[in-house]
Amino acid sequence: MKIVVVGGSGLIGSKLVTMLTRDGHEVVAASRRSGVDAVTGEGLAEAVRGAAVVIDVSNSPSFEDAAVMKFFKTSTHNLLTAEAAAGVRHHVALSVVGTGRLLRSGYFRAKFGQEKLIKESSIPYSIIEATQFFEFVTTIADAATHGNAVRVPPVLIQPIAADDVARAVAKIATGTPLNGTVEIGGPEPFYFDGLIQRVLGAHNDRREVIADSHVPYFGTELNERSLVPGEEAELGEIRFDDWLGRTVQPIAGQNREPIVGVDARTPLKENEFRISEVPPGSVLLMGDVAIFSVEGGFCATQARCTHRQGPLSEGTVDGSTVTCPLHGAQFNVWTGAVLRGPAKDPLKTYSVTVDGDVGRVDVPVVHAVQSK
């Protein structure tokens, strides 16, 4: 079955592409990097031609009220129009828990408008409203920082791991259209300020967390349950503490204490590396494998471009995209997919597991050399 993932190079989109491809589907990762722009309509008709399902996990590059409204209304209209012409049988959209009750926020108004367009179209649909992702908690903390203090409202939040979100979206997308909305969330609720404090503490970050009931969230004040899903929500399996223990890294530029006893740690095996030595956005070269620290996680690919063997560890990394330094070929580092030529063949990819500060690649590799 052909499935188009709009926003296929992002955090959720890249995971979806990997999962759906592994399950045997023909998957198109559609994004501006691959020449598909849902806002302008460029490349849409070709991308959705012959598709049975279109999954929209894209997000606005700007959260300013007018810009975000224009993004979601324009992109959704263009998608639905192209899908109707192509005979697409299922439109799936990732939205946000609380969309219908937080309409004083420009962002939530835009998401509400997106959902309304989908419901009014002739295409069978499924809308999945998710709670906030684990991976974005530090970003929220940074956005709420003023001086050395982080101000957030003392309300409940029930965050979910991006892996659980992708699994839920993939399951629904390959099933019968719901023609309705389902909520998904993490397995446990937290108070917002307590969750932020836990994350900062895990990173040895000394910013003070202040609970402030009047601090806006996406431009609107919250009540205690604004951000949590209802009782019928489908819950993820990954617990926050387990995820935090696997992914914690010091936050760049923040006040933190040194880690004591680093030299006394267990020596690494040939296929292992220290995650604390691979800061976000960087690449670690281990023999013929390149390890990328991107979008809150780690992934690995072959170290050289499939075009003319350019060293990807010396290329530029932008989100989940790496650009070869020789001829400019671009690849999605999660899926290996070619995003821009001259390369034609995808990269080999390898799974990475994390245990504390140790990462492991599922292929034998030689000792590591940190890229510049």
Mean pLDDT of 272-299: 82
Euclidean distance between CA atoms 227 and 230, whole angstroms: 10
Residue 257 reports pLDDT greater than 60: no
Q: What pLDDT was estimated at residue 235?
A: 96
Return mean pLDDT, the chain. Answer: 87
- Residue 354, strand partner residues: 359
pLDDT digits over 152-204, tens only? 999 999 999 999 999 999 999 999 999 999 999 999 999 999 999 888 888 78
Does 372 have pLDDT greater than 60?
Answer: no
Instruction: Give me 104's structure tokens.
Output: 């004083």
Residues 6+ apart with CB under 8 A from 97: 129, 130, 131, 183, 185, 227, 228, 229, 233
pLDDT tens-digit readout, 316-367: 888 888 988 878 889 988 888 899 889 999 999 888 887 777 888 876 543 3
- The answer to whether residue 263 scores a pLDDT higher than 50 is no
State yes or no: pLDDT of 244 exceeds 60.
Answer: yes
335 near 17, Cβ under 8 Å? yes
| pLDDT (0 to 100) of residue 99 | 94
pLDDT of residue 38: 95
Q: How confident is the model at residue 266 (pLDDT cuts 50, 70, 90)?
A: low
What is the rounded CA–CA span in Å between residue 319 and residue 128? Answer: 24
Whole-angstrom CA distances from 153 to 23, 108, 119, 192 are 41, 18, 32, 7
Helix (H), strand (E), coil (C) string for 231-298: CCCEECCCCHHHHHHHHCCCCCCCCCCCCCCHHHCCCCCCCEEEHHHCCCCCEEEECCEEEEEECCEE
Whether 59 has a pLDDT exceeding 70, the answer reads: yes
Quote the CA–CA distance of 334 and 346 in Å, as a whole number: 11
For residues 10-28, average pLDDT: 92
Mean per-residue pLDDT for 231-241?
Answer: 93
Amino acid at 196: I
Quote the pLDDT of residue 33.
79
pLDDT of residue 30: 93
- Name the CA radius of gyration of the chain, rounded: 21
Q: Which residue has the higher pLDDT, 342 or 79?
A: 79
